[in-house]
Structure 1
Amino acid sequence: MSTSAGLSVLHALTFEHHDIIAACRRPQSVAELAAGLRLHLNVVRVLAEDLRAAGHLAIHRPNAGTAQDLSVLRRVIDGLRAVPDSRGTLRDTS
């Protein structure tokens, strides 16, 4: 998330830093941010860390217990299996 300090200096930031702060007015993952800005994930990670160190960006890491909860992964996999493919049929990934 952009901080108030980051938003207040938005006009003075370099191109990529500006785009990241502008895009982070709503919470999103670094992967979503990279995809939205069409930048490499590792580039966005480095730039986001620079912005965090400057106080322009607040980074929230997910709870480690949730990230390692296998039931969450199972629900994601089941949800992906339920998405129809381009022919309108469900994917069989078994």
Structure 2
Amino acid sequence: MADGSPHPGREPVGPAPAVRPFLVTAGRVAPTAPGRPVPVETQVVATAEGLAGLDGLSFEQHDIVAACRLPQSIAEIAARLRLHLNVVRILAEDLRAAGHLTVHIPVSGDVHDATVLRRVIDALRAIPDSRGVVRDTD
């Protein structure tokens, strides 16, 4: 009570429960567009309309569009924003359909190229953790 908490001596609420991704995607586990989910190395970039409409987007959508001022892969966005990979896939597809993002799916032959995977791994390792420490890229 003195610390502003309704239950003195108890820890504040921790991370959101596991059901949160379900809520963020309105219960969807796959994008509404037909076809398979976009690969994790798919590059997305914000459109001018997306950046202009940031204030009208939900929290996660806003963060995704704002993070995509420069091209980012789906995997990089998920890691940077600490969102579930499938949530980012679904929201990125929604944002693409609304004109807020441009999605660049790699050519299918490139998907199996080990250098593409290595670049994605290196980029993910270069993202600082919660303490600001960058992981070793070797």
What's the TM-score, normalizing by structure 1?
0.73
**1:52 Cα deviation after fit:** 0.4
Question: 1:63-78 maps to which residues of 2 (within 5 A)?
Answer: 63-69=107-113, 72=115, 76=118
**1:31 Cα deviation after fit:** 0.6
Match of 2:70 among 26, 32, 35: 26
Aligned length: 77
Task: Give the partner amino acid of 1:6.
Answer: G
By percentage of residues, which structure has more strand?
2
Task: Show the counterpart of 2:55.
Answer: 11
**1:69 Cα deviation after fit:** 3.3
**1:4 Cα deviation after fit:** 0.6
Task: Show the counterpart of 1:44.
Answer: 88
Poorly superposed stretches of 4+, deviation over 3 Å: none
- In structure 1, distance between residues paired with 2:113 and 2:57: 38
**1:63 Cα deviation after fit:** 1.8
Instruction: Provide, for residues 40-90 of structure 1, a one-character-per-residue CA deviation record: whole Å limited to 9, x for no partner.
Output: 0000100101000001000001122222236x37x94xxx9x92xxxxxxx
Task: Show the counterpart of 1:56.
Answer: 100
**1:32 Cα deviation after fit:** 0.5
- In structure 1, distance between residues paired with 2:62 and 2:100: 10
What's the TM-score, normalizing by structure 2?
0.51
**Structure 2 portions without partners, runs of 5+:** 1-44, 123-136
- In structure 2, distance between residues paired with 1:21 and 1:42: 16
Task: Give the partner amino acid of 1:40.
Answer: H
By percentage of residues, which structure has more helix?
1
Of all paired residues, the percent bearing the same amino acid is 58
